[in-house]
Amino acid sequence: MAIHFRETLDAIADAEQVLAKSELARDIDLVYSFLSVSEAGLYHITAELARAAEARGGKVGDAEYARTLAGRVAAERDSDHLKRRLYPELPSDMPYVCFYPMSKRRDALQNWYTLTLDERSRLMQSHGLTGRRYAGKVQQIITGAIGMDAWEWGVTLFAKDPVDFKKLVTDMRFDEVSAKYAEFGDFYVGKVIQL
């Protein structure tokens, strides 16, 4: 498994070319590729602003909503938390890596995209609390692939102990957002090496 984190798609292409020309490339065959970008969800902000718009008699997307959203997004963009999500530093003390793609379910009775914004926000907040129990044991990088891949997101996990991947993913499977609305692709697990 080769994972490239770069700031642009052109830089990803350059990294792929370097790998293709390397001695290592003679011994590997590309059987799967996934392209995505780092992103941070704003469910909590947009749900809060939608409730505020309704309370004042406005609606989502009106001038006040748009102005407030722009201000909140700008403030969020400057936060250390968001910078760590968009530009993650790879942990030097977590040598094991796991990657899997996932999407939200669109079944007739379990369609993520037909839930209200408040419901999606609540579910994602609960989902995040499950993941936070693994802080210090697992570092997670979520990337968005809508429009770039058949899957909607990529999840990359780093850990000191690979068994922590199993524990985390098992706990997440019992989370309502995963149990009802998540579809998972294949899981790839390896150990980080320096080339």
Catalytic residue among 100, 113, 134, 181: 100
* pLDDT in the model for residue 75: 84
Please check the confidence at residue 10 and state whether its pLDDT lies above 90: yes
Query: Mind listing the pLDDT tens digit for each residue in 94-146?
Result: 999 999 999 999 998 899 999 988 898 889 888 989 989 999 999 999 999 99
- Closest by alpha carbon to 189, among 156, 141, 152? 156
Among this protein's residues, is 65 annotated catalytic?
no
* pLDDT in the model for residue 28: 86
- Pairing type for strands 153-159 and 182-184 reads unpaired
Please check the confidence at residue 194 and state whether its pLDDT lies above 80: no
Query: Mind listing the pLDDT tens digit for each residue in 137-167?
Result: 999 999 999 999 999 999 999 999 999 999 9
Domains, the chain, ranges and CATH? 1-31 (no CATH), 34-41+88-191 (3.30.70.1030)
* pLDDT in the model for residue 82: 81
Inter-residue contact 150 to 65 (CB < 8 Å): no
Q: Is 15 exposed, middle or buried (0-12, 13-18, 19+ CB in 10 A)?
A: middle
* pLDDT in the model for residue 74: 84
Task: Give the three-class secondary structure for 163.
Answer: helix
